Chains A and B, each alone.
Chain A
Amino acid sequence: MDTLIVSLLNGVIYGLLLFMVSAGLTLVFGMMGVLNFAHASFYMLGAYFAYALQGTLGFWGAVVVSPLLVGLIGVIVERFVLRRVHRYGHGHELLLTFGLSIIIAELVKLCFGNFPVNYRVPASLDFAAFAVGNSDYPFYRVLMGAVAIAMFVLIFLLLTRTRVGIVVRSAIYKPRMAEALGHNVPAVFMGVFGVGAALAGLAGAVAGAFYTTNPNMAIDLGVVVFVVVVVGGLGSLSGAMLASLLIGVVTSLAVGVDASLADLLGLIGARAWAERIGGLFTLKLSSLAATIPFALMLVVLLVRPGGLLGEKA
């Protein structure tokens, strides 16, 4: 029972981390129609900037300033790089963001080296929040979850209750009409891209201390974030939240399940037969834990391609 509770908690917090990174991505897709391959690179940049700044500004200062820097980089990228390619179509923008992700990863390796860097949770935050069973639950994890939830609530309120949010939503939905009404739509696009990048940077600054900060961060997280965005629905914030939680919890729980298809067939008495065949039948679910998100993505794409909460394709 304890392991179940711990697994659920871990899954939820991991899901919330995924949400922090994918929120910006899904917003940008909804707005520009292009899936930004470089989004996970912004996550990595956030972690590295926070590491570089924590010496001079302290942990909290670094966590505040680093997303601002990343947001600025996002604005520059959108204004000078992506806008130029906008007229050639979505395919080109996608490929350009892919090129950008390579450039950012290589620049990070150039400046900070190939090995993981020494970015750690500060001692003041490194204690146990509560105990579950015979193991502790670290406070920093709870903090990460709190930051993610606060982010969700803030963005949701911003988009639905404020004037800026209405302008942004109209620019996403009907850009020409919004432009005709006198709003500066290109500036809105730039702003949303910057905010999306800043969100990813914040996620990096917060999570990089808990997990590791190394040049392969973007690649490691990038694919799972893609899956989250697709499963949740491209463009839908609540979809991203739902999908991240789903994937986080499922991945977490699957690790504890050592059953395989052979065990399932054992229910109808065919276990020995399945075990003799081997291969797919004796693969344990726990060792497949990292594969499940992709299977989920495939199923969702085939059954409901708009995602769980997205629009119909």
Chain B
Amino acid sequence: MSTCRLSCLVIGAALCVATGLTFAAPVKIGLVETLSGPQASTGLLFRTAVRYGVDRMNAAGGWNGEPVQLLEYDNQGGPTGAADKLKTAIADGVQVIVQGASSAVGGQLTEDVRKYDMRNPGKEVLYVNVGAEAMELTGEKCQFYHFRFTGNAQVRVKALVLGMKQSNALGTRVYSINQNYSWGQDMESAIVEDASLGGYQVVDKTLHDVNKIQDFAPYVAKIAAANVDTVLTGNWSNDLLLLMKATRAAGLKDRFGTVFLDQPGNLGTAGDIALGHFVVHAFNPEAGGAEGERFVADYKAKSGHIPVFIEPQTAFGMAMVAEALKQVKPEHGALSVTALAHALETTRINTPLGEMSMRGADHQALLPMVVSTVARDAKFKADDTDMGFKPVKVFSASDAATPVQANCKMQRPD
């Protein structure tokens, strides 16, 4: 080989090494979600929103010149399936795991991710939690490689209570009815804690079996006997619908403050019963202004429906991940998850409702919350009915935030 060619080769190689572009490894994001079985409805919504987020990342250029790849895994409905698919995802080279539909799966994933990262330093993976709202994930089980981009029970109840109070819908006598598992118990504690903040008295509280009760009439009888103004509940899906229907059937005029009333299908099934009830959620298309309408139109064009329920917060979470990715430079051609985690701690983005950031102490995102009421004059109708969610009050991220839990002792890799 001539010296000219050899020197060109050497210079070329040196350049490649210098710029770290030798082997550019694309970032792989793995969605480990409930995509089939009884609870698939919510999981599929998460998938739509995550796909939207990843498409936007790639429309903006991906990472390090390569498009971001999204791999989807079906956790078959439970923590065991999730643990298996996590191992498969890691074997496929996934570095960022996204999940949201169940707190049980979230608990399993965060523990598995923590143990894997402990055993494999230098090859860490990150867990992006876009929907599991159990308190323990940013409390007892908080860890450096877990980030929660949705609210939690305390955040939801605080916003709901203040929003309803402001609309003079809260009253002074409140009944708390929740499902008897971690989420419902977290909701109950939060409702009791915020009694002085909301200026109400919790007359009685009930915990019932999850998704096993067809006939809520006995519980409604208890609520009627308690003679309250408002019923606060974190129930979702059937438990919420049946509770509301039973209350209406009994002719009670109590106001409902809920967290998951905007789940698709609820307004359609509940009908007029839902009018006047309240929900606290992360986004309301009507409250976002021009920016919000642009987001809604873009989402509808890509997916076929406007972003509802858990989709907006997931899209915002993915936008934060995208923003953090921009600040991370490749190390040896690949993504350093630890660097990404550090970047996520200081990322801030602008959502249509206000600024969203991440709290470093417990990796709970600080995001704006909206309290809305079901009304006929809402701009965006739900479920092919003539009703929709009309925003009542928007809380900025700092107003909606609740303090770090005392039992979060995060170990940082520094």
Q: Do chains A and B touch in the complex (CB under 8 A)?
A: yes
* Residue interface mask A102-136, B partner, CB < 8 A = 1: 00000001000111111110000000100101111
Among B207, B217, B268, B385, which residue has its beta carbon within 8 angstroms of that of A10? B217
Most buried by B among A115, A248, A253, A291: A115
Chain A residues with Cβ below 8 Å from B271 are 120
Q: How far is the CB of A53 from chain B (nearest CB, A)?
A: 17
Bound: A137/B250 CA distance, A: 6
Contact B249 A138 (CB under 8 A): yes
Bound: A289/B180 CA distance, A: 12
Query: In the complex, what residue of chain B is closest to A216 when comparing beta carbons?
Result: B38
Contact B209 A255 (CB under 8 A): no
Chain B residues with Cβ below 8 Å from A113 are 41
Bound: A11/B215 CA distance, A: 9
Bound: A291/B209 CA distance, A: 9
Contact B219 A211 (CB under 8 A): no
Chain A residues with Cβ below 8 Å from B264 are 115
Among B217, B218, B241, which residue has its beta carbon within 8 angstroms of that of A212? B241
Q: Is A57 an interface residue (CB 8 A)?
A: no
Contact A117 B269 (CB under 8 A): yes
Q: Is A290 an interface residue (CB 8 A)?
A: yes
Among B208, B219, B238, B252, which residue has its beta carbon within 8 angstroms of that of A214? B238
Q: Is A14 an interface residue (CB 8 A)?
A: yes
Among B41, B215, B266, B269, which residue has its beta carbon within 8 angstroms of that of A114? B41
* Residue interface mask A185-227, B partner, CB < 8 A = 1: 0000000000000000000000000111111100111001000
Interface residues of A in 128-152 (CB under 8 A from B): 128, 131, 133-138, 140-141
Count, chain A residues at interface, CB 8 A? 49
Q: Is B224 an interface residue (CB 8 A)?
A: yes
Given A118-B268, A219-B38, A136 and B213 contact (CB-CB distance below 8 Å) = no
Query: In the complex, what residue of chain B is closest to A252 when comparing beta carbons?
Result: B218
Given A136-B250, A212-B269, A256 and B41 contact (CB-CB distance below 8 Å) = no
Contact B222 A210 (CB under 8 A): no
Given A3-B225, A118-B383, A286-B206, A212 and B242 contact (CB-CB distance below 8 Å) = yes
Contact A116 B241 (CB under 8 A): yes
Q: Is A287 an interface residue (CB 8 A)?
A: yes
Q: How far is the CB of B235 from chain A (nearest CB, A)?
A: 13
Contact A255 B219 (CB under 8 A): yes
Q: Is B221 an interface residue (CB 8 A)?
A: yes
Q: Is B44 an interface residue (CB 8 A)?
A: yes
Q: Is B22 an interface residue (CB 8 A)?
A: no
Q: Is A7 an interface residue (CB 8 A)?
A: yes
Bound: A248/B41 CA distance, A: 30
Given A117-B265, A211-B214, A211-B242, A287 and B208 contact (CB-CB distance below 8 Å) = yes
Chain A residues with Cβ below 8 Å from B220 are 135
Q: How far is the CB of A60 from chain B (nearest CB, A)?
A: 19
Query: In the complex, what residue of chain A is closest to B217 when comparing beta carbons?
Result: A10
Given A114-B44, A136-B251, A137-B250, A10 and B221 contact (CB-CB distance below 8 Å) = yes
* Residue interface mask B186-226, A partner, CB < 8 A = 1: 00000000000000000000111101111101111110110
Among A10, A120, A136, A220, which residue has its beta carbon within 8 angstroms of that of B218? A10
Chain A residues with Cβ below 8 Å from B217 are 6-7, 10, 14, 252
Among B44, B206, B221, which residue has its beta carbon within 8 angstroms of that of A6? B221
Given A116-B265, A252-B218, A287 and B238 contact (CB-CB distance below 8 Å) = no
Chain B residues with Cβ below 8 Å from A11 are 218
Contact B268 A116 (CB under 8 A): yes
Contact B38 A215 (CB under 8 A): yes
Contact B214 A116 (CB under 8 A): no
Chain B residues with Cβ below 8 Å from A115 are 41, 263-265
Bound: A219/B217 CA distance, A: 21
* Residue interface mask B365-390, A partner, CB < 8 A = 1: 00000000000000000011100000
Q: Is B245 an interface residue (CB 8 A)?
A: yes
Bound: A30/B224 CA distance, A: 43
Bound: A215/B180 CA distance, A: 23
Q: Is B90 an interface residue (CB 8 A)?
A: no
Contact B213 A290 (CB under 8 A): yes
Contact B221 A256 (CB under 8 A): yes
Bound: A286/B209 CA distance, A: 9
Q: How far is the CB of A118 from chain B (nearest CB, A)?
A: 4
Bound: A118/B220 CA distance, A: 23
Bound: A117/B180 CA distance, A: 26
Bound: A214/B266 CA distance, A: 11
* Residue interface mask B236-275, A partner, CB < 8 A = 1: 0110011001000111100000000001111011010000
Query: In the complex, what residue of chain A is closest to B213 when comparing beta carbons?
Result: A290
Q: Is B169 an interface residue (CB 8 A)?
A: no
Bound: A224/B215 CA distance, A: 12
Q: How far is the CB of A115 from chain B (nearest CB, A)?
A: 3
Chain A residues with Cβ below 8 Å from B383 are 118
Chain A residues with Cβ below 8 Å from B71 are none
Chain A residues with Cβ below 8 Å from B219 are 255
- Nearest 4 A/B pairs, CB to CB: A136-B251, A115-B265, A255-B218, A114-B41
25 contacts between A and B (CB under 8 A): A2-B225, A6-B250, A7-B217, A7-B221, A11-B218, A114-B41, A116-B237, A116-B241, A116-B266, A116-B268, A128-B251, A134-B224, A135-B220, A135-B224, A135-B250, A210-B249, A211-B245, A212-B238, A212-B269, A216-B238, A220-B212, A251-B218, A255-B208, A255-B219, A286-B208
- Using a CB–CB cutoff of 8 Å, the interface residues on chain B facing chain A are 38, 40-41, 44, 180, 206-209, 211-215, 217-222, 224-225, 227, 237-238, 241-242, 245, 249-252, 263-266, 268-269, 271, 383-385
- Using a CB–CB cutoff of 8 Å, the interface residues on chain A facing chain B are 2-3, 6-7, 10-11, 14, 109, 113-120, 128, 131, 133-138, 140-141, 210-216, 219-221, 224, 248, 251-256, 286-287, 289-291
